[in-house]
A and B are shown apart, each in its own frame.
Chain A
Amino acid sequence: MTLREVLPGQFCIVRQVFANNLRKRLIDMGLITGTKIYVKKTAPLGDPMEIIVRGYSLTLRKSEASTIIVDRIDG
């Protein structure tokens, strides 16, 4: 599944990052294969989404989130 499909309040683990021109940025900000992500919320208009990764809060668009492949996990 992709990060986009993970609902607020759920956890997941990064499997692969595509995200074309933002790939390098996401990697450097810590989204690497195996990294744990908590999906916190979506913006009032439904997009972008806010995730917690490595203890800080990052926001990205759903279109980008749908290029990040993840596995859902519990807690």
Chain B
Amino acid sequence: MINVALIGNPNSGKTTLYNELTGSNQSVGNWPGVTVEKKTGTLRSKRIKTNIIDLPGIYSLSTISLEEEIAANYVINKKMDLIVNIVDASNLERNLFLTFQLLESDIPIIIALNAMDIVEKKKESINYNHLSKLLGVPVVPISASKKIGINRLIKTIETYDYSKKREPIKYDDDIEKIINDFDKYIKNRFVSIRFFEDGLKALDKITLAKEDLKDLLFSFYKANESFEIDFDMVLPNARYEKIIGYVNEIHKKSEIQGISDSDKIDRVLTHKIFGLPIFGAIMFLVFFLAFGPIGIFITDAFVGLINDFFNLIINGINSLGVAPYVSSLIANGVFGGLAAVVGFLPQLAILFLVLALLEDSGYMARAAFIMDRLLRRFGLSGKSFIPMLIGFGCSVPAMASTRTLDNDEDRKITTMIIPFVSCGAKAPIYGVFAGALFGPRSFIVVFSMYILGIIVAILSAVLFKKTLFKRAQANYIMELPEYRRPTLKNTMRHTWERSKDFLVKAGTVLLAAFIIIWFFSYFGFVNGQFRLLSNDEIGYSILGAIGKFILPLFKPIGFTDWQATVAILTGFIAKESVVGTLGILYGVNGNVIQNGTLLYSSIQANFTTAQAYSFMVFALLSIPCIAAVTAMKNELKSWKLFSFTLLYEIFVAYLVSFIVYRIVQVPLEDILTYLFTFTAIIFVFFMIRKIIKNKGKTCGGNCSKCGEEKRRIITQNIKYKEKNNVDKGDSNGE
């Protein structure tokens, strides 16, 4: 078995190529804890068995983020037999920098020269045969998105000659002298070069004799003095100079240098004035498509179909005359859970589709560029916007996508606040409660939940930044890729993979959750006898007992019956099940997830508007579902921080629900009175503080500012007097 790793710059088309190389043989990865950092698949080849490993994109082997470290360490520790280095032909100079670093190792390399179609479109050409000769490795021109050259690349992998050794790239004599000096002690050209660039960090993996290390450091400091530019720039500079020489030999640029399409699009989309409104409009469109009429229509149609199908099966099973608990399990447990899973799928699929379009086209990077200034105020980087936006769909992929952030602290803060961003699974809760109690105002109520989530997320980010991550400084440095027309195939694949991940997750966790809930809610002690309960006996269930037991804790935030506490409890297993559980607990006949209106009368009977609002707030802010909690643990990588986040979420949910419950209960006039009193108190407080502050200082007029003011007034007075005197004098004279 041969292991082939795909290494290349971010956005050079690695994943597209990965999909083309592996075909349908790819593994289901890309799920936290499984393989977010690397994906593995089998090469589409009949001749040899080959693993293809897709690694995160890197600009160089010196890394600044966790994600990059995974890829760089793969190379540094030589964990593969062969590297397929993807080079973006439309950006040769910078892409070849990494290629040169890779060539300095002794790992076999094939270069896949990607985006050749773009080069041709610009009426340019690249002499890849000559490049192959210059570098001493096979170069295969491809276009991953247009599927050109893939078979040739596969063939090159199949027939690669591992016995052939390549000549290392030689730099100018003064540089070679230093490398050789270091190599006398390190005895590995690759590590010596890494030491030249990165210093002691490069020596982590090797052990040197104490004397050798001393001599090595001495020659390092001696070499340091012999260059005009900074020592850590010397080798990168030499590399770029060599690369420019090569590029001039192979790259024939077109004579006409027009404005690129990408520039034209960017003139509008990142325009000084229109950039922001367009951004807002696009974000609104994303939201509208998934949660607006279109999304609802598709969902309804889809769920109706599924539900008819389920009913058919349930009726079929019942007609067989099975035991009552089996029929109950299937109807209430299994199909209740399944309906929740698939019922939510269409909306998520739309959301994933739109996000995939934004990502594939290159607009996501612009979104980060546009939003950076705003998010930085809250201690986040522009890149944090993307995970937070994905958080509106589902927290789990959102948390996984925080790995695109360069800075560890940014990543952690973003992960910690994502649960507050209202995920798609919470939407049905708002839908049912707002629909039942707020009538025509329900849209505003639902919208307010999203806004509340964002506000809590932002305030939490500021709080975390000021307390937990005091020393952190968010970094921002990002390449703006050229706009690309998203291909149907890639977008669909993106959408399908994420939707499938949701199905897999929901199909296991959620189904299990529903069966457990069914057991807890349909079994219990009646008159000392443990048995299956009928719908009207649900008050005796185990879940009911737990709900009743913890109910007093929830009284201050307006929960008056145990059904609400139990529904909240099941929300920890999956947010999708909150509405389903309420349906089960209120004994509603029919599928409440398909048809929320079935729950309306039960909710109207059991909740006031204030209670409903408090319930929604608690569901929004408290601990997310178990899948998101698992993802959070994966990303935070610290039990301490993880437990803190969970406790923090319970605390915030309780606090905000409490405040909201109290505020919503008081009539409008009272709110205005309170607001007025509150403002008055704050005003008085600041006045007093100002007076106290000023009291201590007795002004002798000695300080320069005061003195200046005095002098200005005095001179003004003198001038005034003089003028008046002159005037008087004049008038006297007349």
Contacts and interface: CB of A to CB of B under 8 A. Distances in A.
Contacts of A60: 476-478
B271 A59 contact: no
A41 B270 CA distance: 9
Contact of B62 (A24, A42, A44, A58): A24
B94 A56 contact: yes
Given A44-B276, A54-B93, A59-B480, A33 B237 contact: yes
A45 B374 contact: yes
Interface in B192-248: 198, 229-230, 232-233, 236-237, 240
A27 B230 CA distance: 11
A13 interface: no
A21 B373 contact: no
A26 interface: yes
A23 to B, nearest CB: 8
B60 interface: yes
B477 A25 contact: yes
Given A27-B232, A30-B97, A56-B91, A44 B270 contact: yes
A30 B276 CA distance: 30
Contacts of A41: 270, 272
Interface in A15-38: 16-17, 21-30, 32-34
Contacts of A28: 59-60, 62, 97, 236
A27 B62 CA distance: 10
B475 interface: yes
B262 to A, nearest CB: 8
A48 B230 contact: no
A33 B475 contact: no
A57 B479 contact: yes
B477 A59 contact: yes
A75 interface: no
Contacts of A42: 272
Most A CB within 10 A of own CB, among B232, B233, B272, B370:
B233
Contact of B478 (A27, A34, A58): A58
A45 B475 CA distance: 18
Contacts of B230: 16, 33
B369 A50 contact: yes
Contacts of A55: 91, 93-94
Nearest to A64: B477
A46 B370 CA distance: 9
A61 B372 contact: yes
Contacts of A33: 229-230, 233, 237
Contacts of A16: 230
B248 to A, nearest CB: 13
Interface of A is mostly: mixed
A5 interface: no
A32 B229 contact: yes
A42 B230 CA distance: 29
A55 B226 CA distance: 31
Contact of B240 (A30, A43, A50): A30
A50 B271 CA distance: 12
B382 interface: yes
B273 A48 contact: no
A41 B274 CA distance: 14
B655 interface: no
A58 to B, nearest CB: 6
A47 B62 CA distance: 27
A30 B372 contact: no
Given A54-B94, A58-B477, A59-B480, A44 B372 contact: no
B225 to A, nearest CB: 17
B374 A22 contact: no
A49 B374 CA distance: 14
B103 to A, nearest CB: 15
Given A57-B480, A59-B477, A43 B275 contact: yes
A28 B96 CA distance: 11
Contact of A29 (B59, B198, B271): B59
A44 B478 contact: no
A2 to B, nearest CB: 16
Given A33-B230, A50-B369, A44 B275 contact: yes
Q: Report the 3 A-B pairs with minimum CB-CB distance, sorted nearest first.
A: A44-B275, A28-B60, A45-B373
Interface of B: 59-60, 62, 64, 91, 93-94, 97, 198, 229-230, 232-233, 236-237, 240, 270-273, 275-276, 279, 369-370, 372-374, 376, 382, 473, 475-480, 482
Given A22-B64, A22-B477, A60-B478, 16 more contacts: A21-B475, A24-B64, A24-B198, A27-B236, A30-B93, A32-B240, A43-B370, A43-B373, A44-B271, A44-B370, A54-B93, A56-B94, A58-B480, A59-B369, A59-B476, A61-B372
Interface of A: 16-17, 21-30, 32-34, 41-48, 50, 54-61, 64
20 contacts: A24-B198, A25-B59, A27-B232, A28-B59, A28-B60, A29-B60, A29-B477, A32-B237, A33-B230, A41-B270, A41-B272, A43-B369, A44-B370, A48-B372, A57-B479, A59-B369, A59-B372, A59-B476, A59-B477, A59-B478
